[in-house]
Amino acid sequence: MVTVEDALAVVLRESLPLPAEEVALADALQRVLAEDVHADADLPPFDRAAMDGYALRAEDVALAPARLSVVGGVRAGEWPAMTVGPHQAVRIMTGAPVPGGANAVQPVETTRTLADGLVEIAGAVAPGANVAPRGCEVRRGDVVLPRGRRLDPAALAVLASVGCVRPRVGRRPRVAVLVTGDEVVDAASTPAPAQIRNSNGPAVAAQLRLAGAEVATLGLAPDRREALAAALARGFDADVLVVSGGVSAGDYDLVEPVLLEAGASFFFTRVAIKPGAPLVFGRRGATLVFGLPGNPVSAQVTSELFVRPCLLRLQGALPPLRPRATVELLAPVGNRSGRTSHAPALVRAREGRLLARPLRSLGSGDLVAHARANALVVMEAGRSHAAAGETAPALLLDSFLEDDGEPP
């Protein structure tokens, strides 16, 4: 059995970034930048008014109230033809270039229009106030987004603002998903006695999509050598083949031997993790192969911990790991497995603390308990017990960000 850390290191070592491609900005969400993006110009590109009001010389209103003569107006999108001289002001709108000579903008609320083209400025203003000078945010040539950044909406705004409308991103990994098990039937059918619906297929495919993969589902394969071999072979042109079930020690767990016969080699076949000790990672030709345990929680947790980083790394993401937070336990957590365990919990941020309510779970089959969790409390192999009030590291899952406001 390898440790979780060693297993992850092997996964990352074997997951080399795929070639880059160009995509349209509109298709770039969640893609990973393959190169640094530089500013093509200063931002802002001119001295920009940050308020509606009057552009003026701060020294002219130091002894406010002061009267200035209005020598023109400038709106956003217009280049100012005039300059601002002593005791002059220009009416200006937010986003407009500040005319030469002016060094501050006094917001309209502190001004009063008088007759004869005069304006009264009611208060003093500091030099530079309400002006964003050219290049104060970014200088032309600066790196505005680094290689390896996964593109979120804020990053798309940056790309747009520097004119990078066809960013170079890592190719999406093509991932084939095969679900195995004689007892497993499609979720649309009514299971006969002794059958169960396929829940791993939809869950794992969805996890992989969230990690940026293009997923092809290969359907369901029975626990029989020839049929399994034929189904697995359909995944050998994918970048990654993910198999659910059939990797534990049962008489009909045939995924490992059938993969070996097909020419695969394995880096590891068991990991000291709970849930999910049987976890196969190998390679067949250019295809990386994961064999996930069939137990629904084990399949989801191992997919989260190992397949997701693999897929992000293939796209070039740096670093491809989810953050860990230190949480305060509201109830005890045990771990007598001798492996690194992951206990489902609901974590809520309250008054600057992260409070974790461990959830009752009947184990690696309890997919309903798992779906209530928004985090996994990590108990290292040597830590058999954590009391209420102690802290522990936790992996925050996507659902952590959807807080329902309930008390923890």
Nearer to Mg ion, 138 or 258 (CB): 258
Residue of 44, 246, 275, 344 that binds ligand AMP (CB under 6 A): 246
Map the footprint of ligand AMP across residues 153-182, applying CB under 6 A. Answer: 179, 181
**Which listed option, Mg ion, ligand AMP, none, makes contact with residue 184 (CB within 5 to 8 Å by class)?**
ligand AMP
Binding of residue 245 to Mg ion (CB under 5 A): yes
How many residues bind Mg ion (CB under 5 A)? The answer is 4
Nearer to ligand AMP, 18 or 299 (CB): 299
Structure tokens at 172: 């999406």
**CB of 363 vs ligand AMP, minimal distance in Å:** 11
Binding of residue 276 to Mg ion (CB under 5 A): no
Residue of 51, 93, 196, 227 that binds ligand AMP (CB under 6 A): 196
Map the footprint of Mg ion across residues 61-90, applying CB under 5 A. Answer: none
Q: Give the binding range for ligand AMP (CB under 6 A) out of 117-125, 195-203, 315-323, 369-377.
A: 195-203
**Which listed option, ligand AMP, Mg ion, none, makes contact with residue 293 (CB within 5 to 8 Å by class)?**
ligand AMP
Binding of residue 276 to ligand AMP (CB under 6 A): no
Nearer to ligand AMP, 179 or 258 (CB): 179
Map the footprint of ligand AMP across residues 290-309, applying CB under 6 A. Answer: 293-296
Residue of 110, 248, 269, 399 that binds ligand AMP (CB under 6 A): 248
- 257-284 in b/e form (b: 16+ CB < 10 A) is ebbeeeebeebebbbbbbbbbbbbbbeb
Its sign, for the CA torsion 61, 64, 70, 76, is: positive
Binding of residue 201 to Mg ion (CB under 5 A): no
How many residues bind ligand AMP (CB under 6 A)? The answer is 19
Residue of 96, 104, 184, 375 that binds ligand AMP (CB under 6 A): 184
Residue of 127, 250, 285, 334 that binds ligand AMP (CB under 6 A): 250
Q: Kindly list the residues in this chain that would bind ligand AMP in the complex (CB under 6 A).
A: 179, 181, 183-184, 196, 198-201, 244-246, 248, 250, 253, 293-296
Q: Kindly list the residues in this chain that would bind Mg ion in the complex (CB under 5 A).
A: 181, 245-246, 294
